[in-house]
A and B are shown apart, each in its own frame.
Chain A
Amino acid sequence: MSNAAFILNGAAFEGAVTVTEAGLRGMITLRGDLGSEAMEKAVKASVGVALPKQRKIKSGKRGAVAWMSPDELLLLVDYDQADMLVAKMKSILAEEHHLVVNVSDARSMFTLSGAGAREVLAKGAPVDLSHSVFGKGAIRRSRIGQIAAAFWTLDGEELEVVCFRSVGAFMYDWLSTAAAKGSLPEYL
């Protein structure tokens, strides 16, 4: 059995903001009827929070759950818990049409911290990232540069970005370039 590794071994870039590869994170894709009782139960049982509303992410002690589409959620959990939670949710959802997959190794995750984090992301994402529109608990699936990504903020300050692992190194380079010292507006 090989050891799980992440793509840049936790690289960090200190520029106008700090870009960090977030490391191994358990991620589970969960699809099905988000209005069903079993779905609510499955999410409660695995991360301990209620279902998020449209374009929201909710966090609890054991992880977070993000709204990805009207029939899809993304669960963020401890890396070593993911397989166990997949099995648990499969049994809760056994009676209804659903899909639950551990996608942890298919993704890369980054954090952007610092006062200009939103400005850095806004250079590549066609999204209004102002505090009033993209506040605490907001999530958006969009693109950064030319690659698909989802990003969110749980506390309203630090931004987290997730993308496919195959483009993880490119994402890191892209974010680091966008976070170059002296490249942000002076009013920050």
Chain B
Amino acid sequence: MLILKCPYCGVSAEETEFTPGGEAHLTRYTSGSEDQAFTDYLFARKNPRGVHFERWRHVFGCGKWFHTARCTATLEVFGTYTGQTSTPPDNIIAVIKAKRPEWEGFK
């Protein structure tokens, strides 16, 4: 069970109040892109064991989309942050680096 803090409601709620929206900060290659870029976007995700950035929606609450950084191996949540960004903010990166010194970094 995950407990996520919605950055818009400011409330910590359990997983069933949210709906997952998959990997975050992707470049969504679409029609007009190179075939290889489109294929990689669809099928060749990094999917590391550990630190992931994801999109979540507070579906039973305020209805807003936001971002979550968490560890898929331990379910530890490093933090949640606004949906209006295309890269994780520095404070989230700092938290992850402190907790996972071996982390290869974002991108």
Contact = CB atoms under 8 A, between A and B. Distances in A.
B16 interface: yes
B60 A143 contact: yes
B17 A70 contact: no
* Residue from B10, B17, B60, B62 with most neighbouring chain A CB atoms (10 Å): B60
A141 B16 contact: no
Given A55-B9, A69-B8, A142 B64 contact: no
Interface in B17-67: 17, 60-64
Bin chain B's interface residue count: 10 to 19
Nearest to A70: B8
B16 A54 contact: no
A55 B10 CA distance: 9
Contacts, number: 35
A99 to B, nearest CB: 13
Contacts of B60: 141-143, 148
Nearest to B7: A70
A94 to B, nearest CB: 26
* Residue from A54, A140, A142, A143 with most neighbouring chain B CB atoms (10 Å): A142
B85 to A, nearest CB: 16
B76 interface: no
Contacts of A55: 9-11
Interface string A109-128: 00000000000000000110
Interface of A: prevailing SS:
strand
A148 B16 CA distance: 11
A148 B62 CA distance: 11
Contact of A127 (B8, B13, B62, B63): B13
Contacts of A148: 60
A78 interface: no
Given A55-B10, A55-B11, A126 B64 contact: no
A143 B16 CA distance: 9
A167 to B, nearest CB: 13
A126 B16 contact: yes
A54 B9 contact: yes
A68 B6 CA distance: 13
A60 to B, nearest CB: 24
9 contacts: A55-B9, A69-B9, A69-B62, A69-B64, A140-B61, A141-B9, A141-B62, A143-B16, A143-B60
Closest 5 CB pairs of A and B: A69-B62, A143-B60, A126-B14, A141-B61, A70-B8
Interface of A: 54-55, 68-70, 72, 126-127, 140-143, 148
Interface of B: 8-11, 13-14, 16-17, 60-64
